[in-house]
Structure 1
């Protein structure tokens, strides 16, 4: 065991001991008392079935999932996620939205991520469902777990938790069939070999040899937090999902915003990423397990699941339109404007007091992607931006176009083009880390933290 492991283990032991002395086991078992409630702290908008999607830096998945149509089979996945706020209790949402068979999950555990596929010793906790240790989710369905105590997070505002990650392990005891997933995690998670059995209780990493850059089945994590904690949902396509940002670096523009808010008000504002690479406002017209599309269901089709049904939503930042105007989408300006109007109407009708913030769309002019970069796309983009800025639809506007635009060439600024994931030249469509930093830094915190309407 190296010095870092000893340090992490000692930290966990000290936290657990001090927590037990301070509040006792009975308090830890309680549900949220008055003055607290559930807020969504992390989400991974689902699409599917695997392997249809747009992952980034994906390792070879043949040994993890030899037959995609059969999916996971008697194996354990350890999914690594970064909550934007912590609480002394969590609950987990699992999705079979694009499965064609009942999905059985058991052996679920949640613990503080140590590194690789390892969990900080003493923090791994079993997760239950309606009193049992397993759940069966029908095709198209989803299921929440019971609350699980996180003793290491009894002081959620502790700086020791800032930026830390949660490791959620789940066992799929029988062949899952087509798997619901989020392709572009830009975060390494891990899995056992098929047939390896339930390994979620293990704290070490020896049973988890295979990496993946995607999340499977898990699509939301809630935390207990003080009542009124803001939850800001960042809704959009690959430029929200983080294409071309640093692998495992957490430097998408929503991550930048989250860190800025964390610095101002530690553990008192959640920022949730609901982007899907390739997503469109109004297309495709049909989507499902038998007719999938790499960009996932349209924004309008997934609005209920990926925004409205999340806990405690107070604001939505909507950045989208590029893919609608691509050669994959071929949507008209009128259709996209109409789709945004309908989406905002639904949000205001279903989430009382929500602030809906429009984000101007960044340039793709001159992109090396065959579907992007043409003149007509840019003309539609600029017209959509005029509507976002001046159309009166949104409660506020976030300006992403101007801080990323090369005023001479009309495309992205040169320093924002080389991609940060693998070091490639970039596609002049997706901003890199420098671009996402500029975008996240351009957001006025007052626009997202203002009181509900």
Structure 2
């Protein structure tokens, strides 16, 4: 049975109320979090980084028509966010964040379905999402909320190979005006939104109500899937080089995506890799962050550990790649400060997640970058010092050698073939690796160093 036929057969069975045997087993009394065979595993993240429009989006369409007044945010309109879960399950739950909002955020008309194409959802797959049994929820300023579990009948056979790479469409109506919108700027994935004042359209599976597009994610910052207990979740914590700057728009070819495919090839449906990168992020800076003091790179890694790593479900491993922004002219941190920051971050992670495995990733070169903030000799000297620390300190359980995978020994910068931009074309900035560079980085990680054999 080909891919399309299998999906339609599965959806038809769900519509008729006849689930495959695998779904009946998964929907039994052993529910995630109940102490039975099932549990929650985070399958996707889009780290909340600040109030729109402060941030570093890539290939962003003109947002004036969707959000005419950033201070007012969304106004009586529906979002349809498209995202790729790294793991599928028969049930999901969604986390919505108002971390950088200044007003209560009212959401209703929330739905989750299988993405078809454009802003369309696969017919028959869209499912309503509830909150405490109610169709709507109010998220307090600075707060977050998890939805109730929602069944995904089309993913009942969660390990089916035809689900690999498929995307989830999450729709929700903002009763608005929302005020400042908590967002993740650099999605490198096209999502959709209705015009202001258009009302609730999440239940619609067609695309007619969603003429506007965005290359960012708003309010939604995590998705969990029901999974067997002990399913390891690998969190890739980092800056724009983890977030995927200069990778292919809608191409899923950031280095965490490459690592994900390698781990799934080895382990099948028994692992999840999620991306907690934020473009411009630093280990120790800025010192202060909030809706009234935003910074394009978001809160420091240390400030966001709780929300973006510790607060996720099933975390077994963290791969940490950061430091280049701390050493930029904007960050200007000392090498000692970043080493101490990483040491403190590792301490917090080990204290909060017993048995967590932490992999230190060496920082890639920015020497010769066309960015005014990067590429100078002092930054490269500090970068090399930090890489020596990552390799030799014993702080980490393993090391991912991204520097060696991308370095041109003749120039001290990135290899020439890894420089041209893969997102919009062009010469590249000699700071962000392109698709070829991310492929080399993802292939440089030894899978057993991330998820050891058990």
On whether the aligned pair clears a TM of 0.5, the verdict is yes
Q: Which of 315, 321, 324 is the equivalent residue of 1:313? A: 315
- The change in CA–CA distance for 1:27 and 1:390 in structure 2 (over 3 A counts) is closer
SS at match of 1:235: strand
State the partner residue of 1:413.
Answer: 415
- How far, CA to CA, are the matches of 1:72 and 1:18 in structure 2? 37
Tell me the equivalent position of 1:219. 221
Q: Do residues 110 (structure 1) and 109 (structure 2) align?
A: no
The residue number in structure 2 matching 1:444 is: 446
- Residues 325 and 380 of structure 1 are in contact (CA less than 8 Å); yes or no, is this contact kept in structure 2? yes
Assess if the C-alpha contact under 8 Å between 1:19 and 1:152 holds in 2: no
1:240 alignment counterpart: 242
What residue number does 2:289 align with?
A: 287
Give the structure 1 partner of residue 144 of structure 2: 142
Shift of 1:417: 0.0
Check conservation: 1:12, 1:120, Cα contact below 8 A.
no
Aligned to 2:298: 296
- Give 1:426 deviation, angstroms: 0.2
- 1:99 and 2:96 matched: no
- Give the match for residue 20 of structure 1: 19
Structure 1 residue runs of 4 or more that deviate by more than 4 Å after TM superposition: 4-11, 14-19, 23-27
Unaligned runs of 5+ in 1: none
* Residues 1:436 and 1:23: Cα distance change in structure 2 (over 3 Å): closer
Counterparts of 1:161 and 1:266, CA distance in 2: 12
Pairing of 1:143-292 with structure 2 (within 5 A): 143-292=145-294
Whether 1:338 aligns to 2:337 is no
SS state of the match for residue 240, structure 1? helix
Report the 3-state secondary structure (helix = DSSP H, G, I; strand = E; otherwise coil) of the residue aligned with 1:352: coil
1:435 aligns with: 437
State the TM-score, normalized to the length of structure 2: 0.96
Alpha-carbon distance in structure 2 between the residues aligned to 1:27 and 1:448: 28
Residues 1:226 and 1:7: Cα distance change in structure 2 (over 3 Å): closer
Question: C-alpha distance in 1, partners of 2:44/2:351?
Answer: 24
Shift of 1:35: 1.2
Please say if residues 26 and 90 of structure 2, whose CA atoms lie closer than 8 Å, have aligned partners that are also in contact: no
Gaps of 5+ in 2: none
- From 335, 340, 351, the equivalent of 2:353 is 351
> 1:208 is paired with a residue of what secondary structure?
coil
- Kept after mapping to 1: 8 A contact 2:413/2:430: yes
1:361-406 alpha-carbon deviations (Å, 9 max, x no partner): 0000000000000000000000000000001110111100001000
Deviation string for 1:295-348 (max 9, x for gaps)?
Answer: 000000001100000001000000000000000100000000000000000000
After TM superposition, give the deviation of residue 12 of structure 1 in Å. Answer: 3.2
Where does residue 36 of structure 1 map in the other structure? 38
TM-fit CA distance, 1:267: 1.6
Cα distance, 1:84–1:336 mapped onto 2, change above 3 Å: same
Q: Is the 8 A contact 1:16 1:152 kept in 2?
A: no
TM-fit CA distance, 1:266: 1.8
- 1:290 Cα offset (Å): 0.4
| Aligned mates of 2:135, 2:26 — CA distance in 1 | 22
Q: Which residue of 1 aligns with 2:91?
A: 89
Whether the 8 Å contact between 1:8 and 1:114 is mirrored in structure 2 is no
Name the count of aligned residue pairs. 450
Shift of 1:228: 1.1
Instruction: Tell me how far apart the structure 2 counterparts of residues 145 and 288 of structure 1 sit (CA, whole Å).
Output: 25
Give, in angstroms, the shift of residue 223 of structure 1.
0.4
**Distance in 1 (alpha carbons) for counterparts of 2:337 and 2:329:** 15
Residue 22 of structure 1 deviates from its aligned partner by 3.1
Q: Secondary structure at the match of 1:279?
A: coil
Q: Is the 8 A contact 1:110 1:167 kept in 2?
A: yes
CA contact 2:324–2:379 (8 Å) conserved in 1: yes
Structure 1 contact 53–183 (Cα < 8 Å) conserved: yes
Supply the distance in 2 between the matched residues of 1:7 and 1:269 (Cα, whole angstroms): 24
The CA RMSD over aligned residues, in Å, is 1.9
How far the C-alpha of 1:424 sits from its partner, in A, is 1.4
Contact 1:103–1:176 (CA under 8 A) maintained in structure 2: yes
Shift of 1:47: 1.3
CA distance in 1, matches of 2:396, 2:41: 24
Q: Give yes or no for contact 2:10–2:154 (8 Å, CA) kept in 1.
A: no
Question: Does the 8 Å CA contact 2:59/2:424 hold for their aligned counterparts?
Answer: yes
Aligned to 1:121: 123
Shift of 1:262: 1.4
Q: Determine helix, strand or coil for the equivalent of 2:442.
A: helix
The 5 A counterparts of 1:357-372 are 357-372=359-374
Aligned mates of 1:329, 1:23 — CA distance in 2: 51
